[in-house]
Amino acid sequence: MVEYLLMKIFRALVTVTLIVSAAFVVLRLSGDPAIIILGPEAPPEAFEAFRRNWGLDQPIWVQYLKYFAAVFQGDLGVSMRDGRSALEVVSERIPLTLAITLPALFLKLCIGLPAGVTAALYRNSWVDRLIMMLSVAGFTVPSFVLGLVLAMVFAVWLGWLPSGGSDTWAHAVLPTVTMGLVGAAVIARFTRSAMLEVLGQPYIRTASAKGLLWRDVVRTHALPNAAIPTLTIIGFLVGSLVAGAVVVESVFSWPGVGRLLVNAVANRDLAVVQVILLLVGLTMVGANLAVDILYGMVDPRLRIKRLKAGS
Amino acid sequence: MRRPGLFYCNGETAMETLLSVKDLKIDFDQGKRFVRALHGVNLDVAKGEVLGVVGESGCGKSITWLAALGLLGNRARISGSVRLDGEEIAGMNETDLSRLRGGRIAMIFQDPSSSLNPVHRIGRQINEALKLHRGLTGAAADAESARLLDRVGIANATRRLREYPHEMSGGMNQRIMIAMALAGEPELLIADEPTTALDATIQAQILDLLTELRRDTGMALVLISHDLGVVADMSDRVAVMYGGRVIEEADTGSLFDNPAHPYTKGLIAALPDIDGPRRRLESIPGTVPAPDQLPPGCSFAPRCAIASKICDAAMPGFLPFGESANHFAACVKCREEAPFGEAAPGEAVKPGLVPA
Amino acid sequence: MSELLKVRDLKRHYEVHVPQGLFGRKASLKAVDGVSFSIEKGKTLGLVGESGCGKSTTAKLVLGLIPATAGSVEFAGTPVTAKHDARWRALRRRMQMIYQDPLGALDRRLPVVTQIGEPFEIHNPEMSRVERTERASGLMNAVGLRPDQAMRYPHELSGGQRQRVVIARALALEPDLLVCDEPVSALDVSIQAQVLNLLDDLRERTGFAALFISHDLKVVRQMSDRVAVMYLGRIVEAGLPEDVFLRPQHPYTKALVSAIPTPARRGKRERIVLEGDPPSPVDVPPGCAFHTRCPIAQPSCRNTVPQLVSSGGHAVACHLVNDGAATAVQAAE
């Protein structure tokens, strides 16, 4: 098990390194930060000084090696835009993002799980059809469309809520609901199929034949088994807590990590982009690792890997 | 802990009916329409006896008993009567029915390893039944679970209780299923293909165990199997099913020595033997018709060698056959060839049965 | 004697990871551990044993589908290896296989007549489309499928009909050897008899030899000229079906044979019930692999592996049987 986890961590770190490297190269090849930050009308000497200052005049592989050497020493670079530490620039946005993604996650689980379970239990009934219809609508409509529709209804027409900004808690409602609804649709669909799969298993029939009431069969036999595949998708959602709000933050002008990422890419603020990507990679990896450990706790079959007996 | 009124019958004394299934019909909801899978089945199980039920896939041998216990789910529409000790249990509410399930009537299934919950320990799964039917919890339940495991021949019972189904072989899991069934001290055990997924030597172990348990507890056994050998070996009485109907029923000796229905004869002749000279198998031509495409009369007629026009007219009545008192068959033609005991249609119909 | 297939001391071991302690340990799973037999032209050898005994692995080794760890397979004088070159493909044409699950062996998207004609397409590409269809129709007729079923798809046929399609396809190129791995285990009794009779008739007509694998002793006896009983990767008894099944010598075969319930045996059975489960092929007991479950095992059975010793064409691998036989000869067959 320890061996298995170390292997997982190692693979995950390789993945993160690859993501950061790819971003490093692409960002540097796709536009000159000097021009973007100083503006095209700046004098040539200013460009030169800027490039020397940030080490942009060196060959790209030298920049790359220097960058990684610095990362391993804990130096994640400085924002080209305002000269502060990139880590600091990103860190101050994290609480703002979590302020909408955490409630959204809560919303996703509170709507998605019961909806999926209910749909499965009343398969082919009107309840099931209604839930599935809403679910399909929820994840086929892009979140910016849903966000704009909600903004139009609740901000423009009804005037109950502000359409953008982050001054009060009311500003957080629309982005949270938008993300929550989309996520709930995904979870509902996933939970339903996991639940249906489990309900068709012979041990469910055994549990009924043993004399358990249906609600107890569902509670003690069906739900724990259906939870196993559902964990994967929840892990994915937890992994995207920090940076899963790019679109929604942009739509509602919410100054979180997602919006920072969009701006930093547009401005070629290289260090900031790298820090965000690193952060995204690490949270994803952390969430996946947590799911793996939870898997082992929920599913005893994974604790002892079965022998492959061939005949 | 034995219930009053539970005793062992050796087949010679007059037997008291334990479970009585009358005119049981099942229709499955196929979305746009209902397809009838069971066409009025009548079966009695006496206290302490072994009733073998044979037939090929789709004949209705399993769903009859699942329906009796209300385990077919809401896609099945069930009509008819199921009486346990005279008390009607068809259409009973779920709370009352769930008290019978795993209590007076227990059930075990074909694939023991997937019939146990993979995420719960063995002990927890047996304890659950003990709590439901005997109110045992905590240490008392653990002790009783260990005793039950010991009873079904599992060594190191206390340690095994802490293990999971995937840590055991198929044979062990079937023993655990049996232990769980015994937890409710049932008067009737319904075993649905209990050894089909198991190897020959393990099958022998399980059949021996079932025989022994039945002798000790006096419970009745319904043994559902596609394997004529298993049924012949274990049963006091055998019912043969085809196309959602019982087409022949007799004491085991009478059924195998003097089969009446051409289908029963065909099944026996189609089976290769292990002893005696080798002979060419006699196969039954054609295949089982789909449930929604049954012929109007006898459902076996299209595959039957001796069928004639009369067979297509209507489903034949279930009438006595031969000399044995308990031998019935649903075939018009079998009596023409039968050497003795002809019964005119309509007379001496099996008691309690409405001719189809 | 014209030996079509000759298998000598065939072994197949797998490296497996056994959970034990913190990191587990490496172990060797002996799926097949020294199996020798031969099949004459037009004859059928039945291979019988319980799950995990190595009978299906043997089938794959015989066809060269997986490489052997040791030993040799010779088909019509040519060694069969798992190197899938032109020579192997030429051999494979003459050795066909049918499996337990016909639906898995067929392509769901093609009508059955096309699939039956497929071997011609692969091995005889110059054959015209018309001739191919004609030959496929002939094969369908030979296995008892109706012409109107030609354009059906596999899922539109019953289990027995699908197995007929698989048999027709396997016989398309008139193979010399047909390896049948549990061909009727998924079928109902009445259909099982149809397929067994069909195989019997086709063998009579075309004269192929067969390696017939099943867990069902009754079926194996019905189909075989000779039978071999396997236990944990080895053959423990072999001979004529009458000898092996009616006069079994090995305690395992005795138990296996006595465990078969049949209508004729009802009421007068003397079942030998073995205790416990077969050991895992990862931890094969030392000495005679069967000694842990054997009702008559002696302490000495734990020490040496018994050899398959033949006397009058009936071979047994048991110390207790063979030490008593004075005229024992080392099994060559």
Domains of chain B, start order = 17-235 (3.40.50.300), 242-337 (no CATH)
Residues A124 and A172 in one domain: yes
Of the candidates C316, C281, C287, the one whose C-alpha atom is nearest the C-alpha of residue C299 is C287
Please give the residue range of the domain that contains residue A110.
94-255
Tokens read off for A242? 């920090």
Q: Which residue of C has its CA nearest to A308?
A: C16
With contact defined as 3+ CB pairs under 8 Å, the chains touching B are A, C
Annotated domain spans of chain C: 3-330
CA atoms of B36 and B43, how far apart (whole Å)? 18
Residue C212 φ/ψ region, left for φ over 0, alpha for ψ in the -120 to 50 degree band, beta for the rest: beta
Q: Write down the pLDDT at residue B250.
A: 96
Contacts of B62 in chain C (CB under 8 A): none
- Name the more confident of B94 and A16: B94
Q: Is residue A308 part of a domain?
A: no
Q: Over 70: is that where the pLDDT of B337 sits?
A: no
Question: Are A211 and B102 within 8 A, CB to CB?
Answer: yes
Tokens read off for B219? 């419970």
Domain end position, chosen among A215, A230, A255: A255
Percent of chain B with pLDDT over 90: 69
Residues A116 and A231 in one domain: yes
Question: Are A311 and C18 within 8 A, CB to CB?
Answer: no
For range A126-152, the mean pLDDT: 86
CB B178 within 8 A of CB B152: yes
Please give, rounded to a whole number of angstroms, the shortest distance from the CA of A140 to a CA of chain B: 27
For range A82-90, the mean pLDDT: 83
Q: Write down the pLDDT at residue A293.
A: 80
Between A33-47, A171-185, B122-136, C232-246, the lowest mean confidence (pLDDT) is in: A33-47
Q: Write down the pLDDT at residue C328.
A: 39
Please give, rounded to a whole number of angstroms, the shortest distance from the CA of C44 to a CA of chain B: 15
For testing the chain B interface, which of C55, C146, C188 should be mutated: the one with the most B CBs within 10 Å? Answer: C188
Strand partners, C32: C12
Question: What confidence category does residue A178 fall into, taking pLDDT thresholds of 50, 70 and 90?
Answer: confident
Q: Write down the pLDDT at residue C325.
A: 47
Whether the complex's predicted ipTM is more than 0.95 is answered with no
**φ and ψ at residue C157, rounded to 5 degrees:** -105, 160
For range B241-259, the mean pLDDT: 95
Contacts of C130 (CB under 8 A, 6+ apart): none
For range A138-160, the mean pLDDT: 82
Question: Are B116 and A228 within 8 A, CB to CB?
Answer: no
For testing the chain B interface, which of A208, A213, A231, A308 should be mutated: the one with the most B CBs within 10 Å? Answer: A208
Q: Over 90: is that where the pLDDT of B100 sits?
A: yes
Q: Over 70: is that where the pLDDT of B353 sits?
A: no
Residues A148 and A165 in one domain: yes
Amino acid at A95: P
Please give, rounded to a whole number of angstroms, the shortest distance from the CA of A290 to a CA of chain C: 20
Residues A113 and A72 in one domain: no
Q: Over 60: is that where the pLDDT of B146 sits?
A: yes
Contacts of C55 in chain A (CB under 8 A): 311
Residues A138 and A51 in one domain: no
- Name the more confident of A76 and B272: B272
Question: Are A309 and C281 within 8 A, CB to CB?
Answer: yes
CB B264 within 8 A of CB B248: yes
Question: Which domain CATH number covers A199?
Answer: 1.10.3720.10
Q: Chains A and B: how many Cβ contacts under 8 Å?
A: 80
Question: Are A210 and B129 within 8 A, CB to CB?
Answer: yes
Which of A176-190, A197-211, B318-332 is most confident? A197-211
Q: Over 80: is that where the pLDDT of B355 sits?
A: no
Please give, rounded to a whole number of angstroms, the shortest distance from the CA of B33 to a CA of chain A: 14
Q: Over 70: is that where the pLDDT of A190 sits?
A: yes
Compute the mean pLDDT over every residue in chain A, rounded to the nearest whole number: 83
Residues A292 and A156 in one domain: no
Q: Write down the pLDDT at residue C324.
A: 60
Residues A130 and A191 in one domain: yes
- Name the more confident of A125 and B65: B65
Q: Positive or negative, the Cα torsion across C313, C314, C320, C324?
A: negative
CB B240 within 8 A of CB B330: no
Residues A111 and A147 in one domain: yes
Q: Over 90: is that where the pLDDT of B277 sits?
A: no
Walking along chain C (333 residues) 10 residues at a time, the average pLDDT comes out as 88 82 74 94 94 92 93 92 87 89 85 90 85 88 86 87 90 92 88 90 92 94 96 95 94 94 81 87 90 91 91 92 55 38
Q: Is residue A87 part of a domain?
A: yes
Q: Write down the pLDDT at residue B18.
A: 96
Please give, rounded to a whole number of angstroms, the shortest distance from the CA of C331 to a CA of chain B: 26
Compute the mean pLDDT over every residue in chain C, rounded to the nearest whole number: 88
Residues A191 and A271 in one domain: no
CA atoms of A123 and A120, how far apart (whole Å)? 5
**Angstrom distances, CA of residue B346 to CA of B17, B61, B99, B259, B354:** 25, 26, 40, 21, 10
Question: What confidence category does residue A270 fall into, taking pLDDT thresholds of 50, 70 and 90?
Answer: confident
The CB density around residue C82, as the number of other CB atoms within 10 Å, is 14
Between A302-306, B320-324, C112-116, the lowest mean confidence (pLDDT) is in: A302-306
Question: Are C194 and B283 within 8 A, CB to CB?
Answer: yes
> pTM of the entire structure?
0.85
CATH architecture entry for C3-330: 3-Layer(aba) Sandwich (3.40)
Of the candidates A92, A142, A83, A32, the one whose C-alpha atom is nearest the C-alpha of residue A259 is A92
Q: Over 90: is that where the pLDDT of B229 sits?
A: yes
Number of domains in chain A: 2
- Name the more confident of A33 and C304: C304
Residues A126 and A208 in one domain: yes
Residues A104 and A241 in one domain: yes
Residues A176 and A296 in one domain: no
